Amino acid sequence: MNPPASHLTPTRHWKDIPQQVSPRAMSSEGRRRVLRHAVKTIGLGLTVAALAWGAYGVVSALPDSSGKMPGSVKSAPLHDLVLVTDGVLDQPWLARTLAVPKGASLMELDLFQLRGRLLASGQVRTANLTRNFPATLAVTLAERMPVARLQVQAGPDDRLTLLVARDGVVYEGVGYDPKMVETLPWLAGVTLSRQGGVIQPIAGMAAVSDLLAKAKLEAEHLYAGWRRVSLERLASDGEIAVFTQDGLTVTFGTNEDFFRQLANLDAILDAARAHPEKALREINLAVGGQVPVAFAPAATDPVAAPPSRTPASSPRPLFTGLHRN
């Protein structure tokens, strides 16, 4: 027989046993780690605070830096113009264009205005001017290079030759070798316009420049005979007409690869040399694989009239008009 439940001894749990053991104190190595961490944290905070204070001091001093410059330095007259350029402009051109007043100091120069004078020439693409105290102005230029030339009527009996860069900018050009300029083809079929007294860039010159550059690099024997390049049908039909010194007209298409068109042209001219009795007059490379070719009438044909050809040395017609807006 089981004893009554009230007389049973209650079961004891291990948690009911008094805990007389105190936790072990932190070791000396642990205390050192805590100390090192605290020192690093404090050091980092002090470093950030020092940097912030130093930056504040520099920024605060900037507005007054010019005022603290010695008076002798601020008033020293400009002594040297240093020119660095990737083109042909020289020191005398720089001095004439900047036209710095005699005795002017570096601090008196308006660099923005002087930069505008350099860019106004058209030959300068970018210009950076730097004051090097006490008395030197350093000028760094990036120049445009001409890819073609054209003529404009400067007066009743006066024609002015201008140069055209890849981006279509038209400028007079200074310092170029005349022999190099003579190798540039004349530009035709363009309309020049002015705004604020400045001739505006010619549209489409990037495509023309690509054609000329490829021809000069890949087929210089062909490029050497190119005398005139017409943009008359560039905007409407995407075509560039090239007139050679032999009276041949070659039409290139901007939608076709220029290298392939030049290769076709070279092959056609090679084939034509085998038949000297047939003089080529026109070659149209803008229509794809089938290249239309036109021949000049035979010189012995009494009925046929000889084709009219523009003399190779004549740059006319060079442009369709010069408008002022």
Which residues in the chain are classed under CATH 3.10.20.310? 71-143
Tell me the sheet residues that pair with 165: 146
Does the CA dihedral 87-93-95-96 come out positive or negative?
negative
Q: Is the distance from CB of 168 to CB of 204 less than 8 angstroms?
A: yes
Please tell me the predicted confidence (pLDDT) of residue 275.
85
Per-residue pLDDT, 153 = 81
3-state secondary structure the chain: CCCCHHHCCCCCCHHHCCCCCCCCCCCHHHHHHHHHHHHHHHHHHHHHHHHHHHHHHHHHHHHHCCCCCCHHHHCCECCEEEEEECCCCCHHHHHHHHCCCCCCEHHHCCHHHHHHHHHCCCCEEEEEEEEECCCEEEEEEEECCEEEEEEEEEECCEEEEEEEECCCCEECCCCCCHHHHHCCCEEECCEEEEECCEECCCCCHHHHHHHHHHHHHHCHHHHCCEEEEECCCHHHHCEEEEEECCCCEEEEECCCCHHHHHHHHHHHHHHHHCCCCCCEEEEECCCCCCCCEEECCCCCCCCCCCCCCCCCCCCCCCCCEEEEC
pLDDT on residue 306? 47
Predicted model pTM = 0.70
* Mean pLDDT, the chain cut into blocks of 10 residues (325 residues total): 52 57 59 74 77 62 51 76 97 97 93 97 97 95 98 83 97 96 96 91 97 96 97 96 96 95 94 87 88 75 45 38 40
CATH, range 146-302+310-324: 3.40.50.11690
Structural domain 71-143, CATH architecture: Roll (3.10)
**Angstrom distance (rounded) from CA 106 to CA 95:** 15
* Burial classification of residue 228, based on how many CB atoms lie within 10 Å of its CB (0-12 exposed, 13-18 middle, 19 or more buried): buried
Interatomic CA distance for residues 278 and 182, integer angstroms:
30
Residue 238: closest CA among 214, 218, 211, 263:
211
**Could you give the residue range(s) of every CATH 3.40.50.11690 domain in the chain?**
146-302+310-324
Which pLDDT value is given to residue 166? 97
Q: Peptide bond before 134: cis, by omega within 30 degrees of 0?
A: yes
